[in-house]
Amino acid sequence: MSVPWVIAAIVAGIWLLVVLFQLGDVVTVFLDSRTARDREIPSRIARERTNELFWIIPIVALLALMIGVGVDHAGRYFFDARNFSDAMNPAIGSLIVLGIAILVVGVAGLALGATAATDPVSYSALRRDLRDHEGERITRQQLADFRTRLARIDARTRSRMRPTRLLLTTPSVLRLATIVVGFFVVASVWIAVAFAPSDQSASLIAVSILAPVLSALFAALGIRFAVSSDLAWRRVYAKQRVDILKLLENFERSSRKGVAGLGDRVARALKILSEQQPPA
């Protein structure tokens, strides 16, 4: 196989991986749009959207790819047959180092997933913390801390849900960028046909045109379902925020009240203490 066709095959393989990620993105964001509901999240684990967890996969995959390429190049130096005996196989040495790197990346990916699954900056987590203190009298500092957390959550929620700027959000830009990968497939096939034509050139060109079409279709579906998901979750967040404001109002009202009969009890305790003192 000639070099242009090898390059075209590599580009097509990369596009297939991208399409798989697109398919997973569409499925998870569709599930988020259908499962948006108000629910209690145990403890501080409040990552409510499946799509947010799904995006960890390509991040870990890219990290593994970069480390794998670097380790492969490093292995060529560490296990070069010119530096050791001729019996030393550079490929085996590279595979050993690469296997170690994959193991490390796998553990790091699991740690990243566990970290990303905990999200205390959410309305559900704050509401649960407030309900844990329900019926108690909290201090002014605690009340201020709760209000600070609410302000942080409000800022984050506004940044995540902006329908007028939907195409400028990072997930939408990534969805649209996949179309460029599809055009790379078409360009690489055209170049391969120009330099090394074959009997199947016409059919391969026709098939390659499907790449940007499928990428555009999945990108449009992902953005469309993202709009539905954001609208559904916005309603859920609005209800949770109303509950939080009610709880904060009750805490603030109770913190302003004095304890009934506190002065009488203090005076009575001081009188008892003075009576128990021995005469001078």
**Cα–Cα distance for residue pair 123/242, rounded to 1 Å:** 10
125 CB-near residues (< 8 Å, 6+ apart): 41, 44, 46, 119
Per-residue model confidence (pLDDT) at position 65? 67
**DSSP-H helix ranges across 117-169:** 123-132, 140-160
> Three-class SS string for 167-221?
HHCHHHHHHHHHHHHHHHHHHHHHHHHHHCCCCCHHHHHHHHCHHHHHHHHHHHH
238-260 residue pLDDT tens: 888 999 999 998 888 876 655 44
Per-residue model confidence (pLDDT) at position 278? 59
Q: Which residues of the chain have pLDDT under 70?
A: 1, 40-48, 56-101, 103-120, 159-168, 255-280
Per-residue model confidence (pLDDT) at position 236? 86
**Cα–Cα distance for residue pair 199/33, rounded to 1 Å:** 47
**pTM for this entry:** 0.64
